[in-house]
Amino acid sequence: MVTLRDMRVNEYPAYLDYFLPDYAGEISAAFGLDANAARARAEAEMQRDLPQGPATPGQRLLCIDHQGALAGYLWLRPELSGAFILDFHILPALQRRGLARKALAALQADLAATGGSQIRLRVAPDNTRAQAVYAAAGFRVTGYNMAKTF
């Protein structure tokens, strides 16, 4: 069974240990920045977006639990229609066990119980594994993000 719960303040540092290097890698790949510049940008964006960690108004950090143990993380921005997923991660040792699909189903059930009807997200164009998970869960492509660096 997969359940979602609010992240505790003492769990936030472990989340950052996973998130910052991962996000810096995405920034580096997407914008051609070197590792140090990408890490600095990731840290600055986290400071801007989550200045109070899990207690930041307008943001929701969740832990994904499986059989009473931490299985991953979800970072959401609640919206009138439901939520926008900013980050979704299943711990590497637990991947490929259907937990992502179960976590998305749990999120959908939680949102539906409070009147939500939509989950939105952005996925990197080279992350075909995530795209397959989302497609299997019923998500469809609604547009493309584009950028020009100069």
For 111-131, write each residue's pLDDT tens digit: 999 999 999 999 888 889 999
Rounded to 10 degrees, the C-alpha dihedral 144/124/136/105 comes to -100
Q: Where are the domains of the chain?
A: 2-136
pLDDT band at 145 (very low <50, low <70, confident <90, very high): confident
Tell me how far apart the alpha carbons of residues 127 and 139 are, in angstroms, rounded to a whole number: 15
Domain 2-136 has CATH 3.40.630.30: yes
State yes or no: pLDDT of 147 exceeds 80. Answer: no
State yes or no: pLDDT of 65 exceeds 80. Answer: yes
N residues, the chain: 150
Tell me how far apart the alpha carbons of residues 123 and 138 are, in angstroms, rounded to a whole number: 14
Residue 53 falls in which region: left (phi positive, over 0), alpha (psi -120 to 50) or beta: left
pLDDT band at 146 (very low <50, low <70, confident <90, very high): confident
How confident is the model over 30-36, as a mean pLDDT?
A: 92
